[in-house]
């Protein structure tokens, strides 16, 4: 299945517009993410960050524009959420959503890369391989001691980490991470930045974040969204020096 355009990019957005009742949430948005890249997306409230994530993951259909994945191989505007997830795009929500009445381990088990259709799932059994993968994940997200706790009982920060762990369990080619450090302490924020950098060694990552200190910590290319389109792009120092970005953020 060849996409209409050929591109080297892992994720390719061009001319994407979405409107709700006349309000333009996205306006001719263009964005390129290279394979292996980590990108930070910043922008004030209502800039269209979450809508952009919705479009990429198939939750919202754009009115116009191209959304292509994996070198233009897949047209994401035609696929549903589950298919996009199976193609290798994982998403962490702004508000941490884990399966609260499941244990931490079951949360990760559900996310583990495995056949997703009904009957294989019905007959699935625990294997040694699965256990090894789980152990590895617990080591990464440091929730080993909470293994059999109900996820609903975790602290806010722990839930954020569990969700990142679930993302990793899916082993996606591209991770979309929405405000991963909201509500975290400084120490947790620092650790999360380190975690994301580690993840980025093997995965492409798009991070949406408000927290400028955190974005600086990541030290990656930054895209500034405003009113549904790209306002500026570059290193954190470049974009903070951009006059328009300053105006948008300070409301001048």
Binding site for other proteins (CB under 8 A): 20-21, 23, 25, 51, 57, 59, 80-82, 85-86, 90-91, 93, 97-102, 106, 109-111, 116-118, 121-124, 166, 170
Kindly tell me the sign of the dihedral angle through the C-alpha atoms of 90, 93, 96, 101. negative
Q: Any residues with CB less than 8 A from the CB of 123 and at least 6 apart, and which?
A: none
Residues 19/22/23/25 CA torsion (nearest 10 deg):
10
Enumerate the β-bridge partners of residue 54. none
Taking a C-beta distance cutoff of 8 angstroms, is the pair 68, 77 a contact? Answer: no
> Least distance (Å) from other proteins to the CB of residue 24?
12
Would you tell me the crossing angle of helices 186-200 and 156-170 to the nearest 10 degrees? Answer: 0
Q: How far is the CB of 99 from other proteins (least distance, A)?
A: 5
User: Least distance to other proteins from the beta carbon of 54, Å?
Assistant: 8
**Toward other proteins, which CB reaches closer, 102 or 147?**
102
Shortest approach of other proteins to residue 206 CB, angstroms? Answer: 15
- Identity of the residue, 118 or 187, whose beta carbon is nearer to other proteins in the bound complex: 118
Record the tokens describing residue 126, joined without a space. 């625990």
Closest approach of Cβ 177 to other proteins, in Å? 13
Q: How far is the CB of 121 from other proteins (least distance, A)?
A: 5
51/204 with CB nearer other proteins: 51
- Identify which of residues 54 and 209 has a Cβ nearer to other proteins in the complex: 54
* Cβ-based nearer residue to other proteins, 183 or 234: 183
Contact 41, 32 (CB under 8 A): no
Q: How far is CA 245 from CA 10, 66, 91, 100, 252, in A?
A: 27, 26, 27, 39, 10
The angle at the Cα of 48, spanning 44 to 99, to the nearest 5 degrees, equals: 100
CA distance 87 to 164: 18
Name the residue nearer to other proteins (CB basis): 23 or 243. 23
């Amino acid at each position: 299945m060849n996409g209409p355009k050929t591109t080297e990019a892992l994720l390719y957005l061009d001319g994407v517009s979405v409107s709700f009742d006349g309000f333009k949430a996205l306006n001719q948005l263009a964005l390129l993410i290279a394979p292996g890249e980590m990108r930070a997306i910043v922008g004030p409230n209502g800039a269209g960050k979450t809508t952009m994530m919705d479009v990429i993951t198939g939750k919202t259909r754009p009115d116009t524009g191209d959304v292509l994945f994996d070198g233009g191989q897949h047209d994401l505007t035609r696929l549903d959420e589950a298919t996009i997830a199976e193609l290798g795009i994982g998403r962490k929500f702004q508000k941490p959503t884990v399966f609260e009445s499941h244990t931490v381990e079951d949360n990760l088990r559900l996310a583990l890369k495995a056949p997703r259709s009904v009957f294989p799932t019905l007959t699935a059994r625990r294997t040694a391989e699965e256990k090894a993968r789980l152990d590895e994940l617990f080591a990464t997200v440091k929730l080993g001691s909470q293994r059999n706790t109900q996820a609903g009982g975790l602290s806010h920060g722990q839930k954020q980490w569990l969700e990142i762990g679930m993302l990793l369990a899916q082993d996606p080619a591209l991770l979309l991470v929405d405000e991963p450090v909201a509500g975290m302490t400084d120490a947790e924020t620092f650790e999360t930045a380190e975690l994301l950098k580690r993840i980025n060694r093997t995965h492409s990552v798009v991070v949406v974040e408000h927290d400028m200190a955190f974005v600086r910590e990541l030290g990656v290319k930054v895209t500034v969204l405003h009113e549904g389109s790209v306002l500026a792009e570059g290193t954190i120092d470049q974009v903070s020096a951009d006059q328009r970005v300053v105006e948008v953020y300070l409301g001048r």
